Amino acid sequence: MLKLITPPLLVHLGKRLHGNESTEIYGLSGDYCSWEEAIDASTGYDSRIILEKTKAALLKVKNGESAYERDSVLFDEIQYSWPLLAGILWAAARNGGVLNVLDFGGSLGSSYYQNRIFLSSLPQVRWNIVEQSSHVGIGKAYFEDNNLHFYLSIAECLADTQPNVILLSSVLQYLEHPYIVLDQLLELPCDHVIINRTPFWTGLSDRLCVQTVPSTIYPASYPSWIFSTPSFYSYLNEKWKIIAEFESLDRLRGPVKILWRGLIIERRKHVTSMM
């Protein structure tokens, strides 16, 4: 009876005071001057625990026991990013149906398993993940097959194969020097790049924050960039053409209004006029 007549706001406050509802704050916060300063403001994380959790989740997806994994969390149904899939299939169509992906920072194959039902219709698929050594070791032991391959570096991947599309999904913002890595990737002989799950804002300069992960996923906080839309797009426009922009699935809160975006870009063709 008391619950029925108590205003919802008081019930909500009561739960918080008595510990029945989480008051944990997660998302992006702060405005740091350097990577070192952001590191000092972070708790860090136990990468081995996170990796083992991701491995266990993706093995269930691989074996058909679960539908989909994202950031080590399992879902009952696949949450497709249709623009991402369209970009992948577009790149394959422009290469005679052959798909050869360089998935930089691709974990243990999350994007591959997310889209494999559609990829299976292509005549040739090769998915190459460049990752940290701990991921590569587990990837080779548990996930590598005729389609999925793991490498320690871009150079090691290129020594084996020639990708025709580069995928950067939820990775650039976690790099200390994202533009150095992006420069290296954009110099490769590959004309198609897909950027996904990346935070932007309308400010004129990139903003360095700390991202706090909900403890229900895993206890961690680490530096993360929010990229300036005008600055990032200007950086691309000289040599690359933006074919499409799209919204990403992420919805983390932040100190500014964050636009979680994806981009499909193509190398510009410099045509010399004939006289």
Quote the percentage of the chain above a pLDDT of 70: 88
pTM attached to this predicted model:
0.88
- CA angle in degrees (0–180, nearest 5) for 70-53-150: 75
> What per-residue confidence (pLDDT) applies to 64?
93
The beta-carbon contacts of 32-35 under 8 Å, at least 24 apart in sequence, are: 32/208, 32/209, 32/210, 32/223, 33/208, 34/208, 35/176, 35/208, 35/223
Decide if 199 contacts 232 (C-beta within 8 A). no
How far, in Å, CA of 197 to CA of 225, rounded?
12
Mean pLDDT of the chain: 89
Q: How far apart are the first and last CA of the chain?
A: 88
Within the chain, where are the H helices? 2-5, 8-17, 35-40, 47-62, 82-93, 110-119, 133-142, 154-160, 178-186, 229-237
Angle between helices 82-93 and 110-119 (to 10 degrees): 60
> Is the predicted pLDDT of residue 46 greater than 80, yes or no?
no
Over residues 103-129, mean pLDDT? 97
Rounded to whole angstroms, the maximal C-alpha distance in the chain is: 88
Phi and psi, residue 258, nearest 5°:
-95, 135
Residue owning tokens 């990468």: 47
238: confidence class by pLDDT, cuts 50, 70, 90: confident
Q: How far is CA 178 from CA 54, 181, 269, in A?
A: 24, 5, 25
> What per-residue confidence (pLDDT) applies to 71?
87
> Is the predicted pLDDT of residue 48 greater than 80, yes or no?
yes
What are residue 200's DSSP bridge partners? 227, 259
> Is the predicted pLDDT of residue 61 greater than 70, yes or no?
yes
Decide if 83 contacts 264 (C-beta within 8 A). yes
> What per-residue confidence (pLDDT) applies to 86?
97
270: confidence class by pLDDT, cuts 50, 70, 90: low
The CATH class that applies to domain 27-267 reads alpha beta
Residue 166 is encoded by which pair of tokens? 């580069």
> Is the predicted pLDDT of residue 274 greater than 90, yes or no?
no
The 8-class DSSP code of residue 145 comes to -
